Structure 1
Amino acid sequence: MSVRLARMESVRKLKTIEKESTGIICFIQRLAQCCQSVGTLVIIVSLCLVVIGIGIAKMVMGSLFFHACPAQPLIPIWLIVGAMVSFLYTSASQTSKVAGGEHNNDARYARVIFGVFVSLFTFLWLILGTVWIVQANQHMNTCSSQTLTTMASVEHSGGRNQTINVTSSTAPPSADCNSCDSRLFNFAFGILLTEWSLLVLMLIAGCLLCCSYCCLKIFVS
């Protein structure tokens, strides 16, 4: 639906540009500006769809495998809370825009302050999720290292050799040696890598914008 509305808006802008343009050069310039705005709109809509899809997936996986990770029971909670925070922030920001308007300074400041608090919470929650997932991985590696599988060759009376697995424990498994569902752990690990990658890309983009702005101010002055 959003893509269809964006397409209709693009057609309307093209017709307006064609009517208001007085020459081919002016038309090309206005067309380039329109394409830039449409491309920005498509990127924003695509990012919103990706964020919503990831949030729904986190909510579903955290709910389905809520008790499937005894090694670290906080991993499903990390997924569910992260999805709920993103949904609440999106709905609250859109509601404040509709209720307060775009040109209301008080509503704008409230959205900025709320966004700062949500960003700080999201960053701290990401750090906690990293710690919990790393702890679960270390716990499972420690438990799996207590059991070694060796290969033994047994010769039958017919002269044929058959290789069998002989499992020997180097240490008795501890009572708290719990596991975690591989589907939940792999999904949480993938979400963790994705969010850290997006954070790094956002920081790089912010640094590039700041450098571009500084260079522009230097050349203009």
Structure 2
Amino acid sequence: MARVPRKSQIYDGESFHLFWKCHNNNFLLEDDYIKRYFYKLLLKYSQKYNVKIHSYSILSNHPHIFGTLGKLNLFSQFQRVTNSMLAKEINENSSRVGQVVLDRYKIIPVREVEQQLSVMLYLDMNAVKAGLAGHPKYYKWSSYNYYAFGVHDPLLTPSPYYLALSGVQEKRMAIYRELIECKLIELKKWNVAKKQSSREDSNETLIKLL
């Protein structure tokens, strides 16, 4: 069996970006009740298995979690318990049977300090990219309002890189809001360019048909 590259492995005490998709890409997390149930599972078992969660985004067909694990074996138990209990609740709640999580979850080590902020911004922008909210502040199933406005969230342990942005909380929050606004501008420009490209492709196709 081929060895897993060092950069792809995760070790005790490391930070990670974890995500998985629902089976068949179904929207099994769409109901607010299920999102809340999953949130409570994360809250309960992250404490039990020594997993610090820095940032999260729970979408309708997949979640993203950025955190730091304690022991790898405990982290594996954390994932196994939360996923199995979530699957049981979804199946009972919707009168279905079968798999909920698509295959294995994916976990990416986050070793560079600068990567931490990039992952946080990515997670908090997810709902906007998915069309679930016009701005991260309107989506309650993410960590944005905690970092941008100081809204209490018992699930979260502040990211060390976020804390390093400033020694003053109000300034840290202002910086984070500004960074998100920059991401929103980038996304808007990308969407405009995509629409323009689509129109040009349509025009070229029409010309060829004439």
Higher relative contact order (CA 8 A, sep 6+): 2
Pick the structure with more helix per residue. 1
Normalising by structure 2, what TM-score? 0.27
Normalising by structure 1, what TM-score? 0.26
